[in-house]
Structure 1
Amino acid sequence: MELDRRLLLAHCAAHALSVIAGLLVVVPLALNGSAFKGRCALFSQGFWRSENQSASGAQLDAGTHLVVQQWGPPAACQFATFVGVFTVLYGATQSWRSLFYLHRRHDDTLFSAFLTLLLSLCVLFLSGGASVILTLGLVSWCNTVTDHNTRPYSCAESQSVPLYLDVETSSFYSELTCAQVSLWCVTALWLVHSILSFLRLYHSHSQQISGPCLSREKELLLGQSHVDCPLQCQHPHPPQPPAVFI
């Protein structure tokens, strides 16, 4: 198997994995957004309030409930969702494109390979930023839910504890954690895309430089052509001195 076919197969497999990882980002975030009625839990601010009720002249403790002062900015959730959706669409398109190239036995042009590398690097930084935002936002929400780890349960256990909010909180930790892990996987896959795109660009550049020279030298060796090779392929011989007759 030639080098370009190995790179195409590796790139095709990476794009297929990107589709799966992107779906594991988009679906949990969509479910969480639906459960939270379009609100974003990331970076939300709140506190726990204790309430007492009087009954028959006696004070009875009614327990505590979480009060959300300010929900997180919607852009924090939308940014991670955008990276996931773009990864799914781009991965599906490039997977089909790579399979088409494998069937046709050819690769990208030099300019197209350069654009692919540039796009991969840009989305790598975007996905890395989205991963950091999602991670920090989940930590902030967990600090709010557990009252900075002073509650008798962890953040994972708090999804089974009544928070007395007007949103569904029975699976928020599972959904956000799945999206967080998947988004870091997406970032790692975009790093793989960048490396493979660079290798394909280098391979295309090498083929473009060495291709004409190799074909010209082959023709000269076979005696099929006596046309001079281009300047970068020439191997000039030193001029012979003129013969002197006495």
Structure 2
Amino acid sequence: MELDRRLLLAHCTVHALSVVAGLLVVVPMALNGSAFKGRCALFSTGYWRTETQAEMTGDVAHLVVRQWGPPAACQFSTFVGIFTVLYGAAQGWRCLFYLHGRHDDTLFSSFLTVLLSVCVLFLSGGASVILSLGLVSWCDTVTDDNTRPFSCAESQSFPLYLDVDTSSFYMELNLAQVSLWCVTALWLTQSILAFLRLYHSHSQHISRPCRPREKEMLLGHSPSDSRSPSPPQSASSSILLV
């Protein structure tokens, strides 16, 4: 298998994995947004308050959300996941088409692929950091800075007495967080593979005009020999002919 086919096959595999990882970001974020009624749990602030209710014996502690997180924090992560799915599906199809047709991108198209991959790599890395920090902030709010008798993962099994469904928030956000970091790693891999394909295309573009000349040199003559005129006959030959 030639180098370009190996690179194409590797790039196609990475695109297929990025589609799966992107879906594992989009689906949990969509489920969490539906359970929280369109509110974003990332970077939300609040406190615990204890109240005495007449119908219940003893005091009841419940979480009070002072301010929900900015919607852009959740939307940005979802956007990166959606773009990864669409781009991975389109580029995966192109790689399969190139494998079947036994050709590759042009030099300019390869350069644009490298540029786009690097840009989205930084976007996905930023979205991963935002999602991780936002989840830590929400967990600190839920566990009251780790003073509650339960962890953040266990808090989804305890009643928080909010007007949203919190029965699976940690599983959804944690899955989206891990998947988004995988998306970032895959974009890094795509950037490296795209650069290798660009370098390979550039090398072939440089060496292509030299191949016929090298072939003729290996055969023992240069291209100028075949185009040079035949040497003139000597004067003695002319006299004999006369």
Q: Normalized against structure 2, the TM-score is what?
A: 0.89
Unmatched tracts of structure 2, length 5 or more: 226-242
Which residue of the partner structure matches residue 30 of structure 1?
30
Which residue of the partner structure matches residue 83 of structure 2?
86
Partner of 1:147: helix, strand, or coil?
A: coil
Q: Which runs of 4+ in 1 moved over 3 A?
A: 219-225
C-alpha separation in 1, matches of 2:67 and 2:158: 21
Which residue of the partner structure matches residue 9 of structure 1?
9
Partner of 2:60: helix, strand, or coil?
A: strand
Partner of 2:109: helix, strand, or coil?
A: helix
How far 1:211 sits from its partner (Å)?
A: 1.2
C-alpha separation in 2, matches of 1:93 and 1:224: 48
What are the residue-to-residue correspondences of 1:1-246 with 2, within 5 Å?
Answer: 1-53=1-53, 61-222=58-219, 226-227=223-224
Matching residue's letter, 1:12? C
Q: Is the 8 A contact 2:44 2:67 kept in 1?
A: yes
Partner of 1:148: helix, strand, or coil?
A: coil
Q: Is the 8 A contact 2:31 2:172 kept in 1?
A: yes
Computing the radius of gyration from Cα coordinates, the structure with the larger value is: 2
C-alpha separation in 1, matches of 2:224 and 2:195: 35
C-alpha separation in 2, matches of 1:226 and 1:42: 70
Which residue of the partner structure matches residue 240 of structure 1?
none
Q: Once the two structures are superposed, what CA deviation does each residue of 1:2-60 show, in whole Å capped at 9, x if it has no partner? A: 000000000000000000000000000000000000000000000000002458xxx95
Which residue of the partner structure matches residue 233 of structure 2?
none
RMSD of Structure 2 on Structure 1 (CA): 1.7
C-alpha separation in 2, matches of 1:54 and 1:105: 77
Unmatched tracts of structure 1, length 5 or more: 229-246
Q: Normalized against structure 1, the TM-score is what?
A: 0.88
Choose 111-120 or 218-227, whichever is displaced more.
218-227
C-alpha separation in 2, matches of 1:208 and 1:66: 64
How far 1:216 sits from its partner (Å)?
A: 2.7
Percent identical among aligned pairs is: 80
Choose 1-10 or 219-228, whichever is displaced more.
219-228
More helix by share: 2
C-alpha separation in 2, matches of 1:26 and 1:143: 24
Matching residue's letter, 1:208? H
Q: Once the two structures are superposed, what CA deviation does each residue of 1:132-154 show, in whole Å capped at 9, x if it has no partner? A: 00000000000000000000000
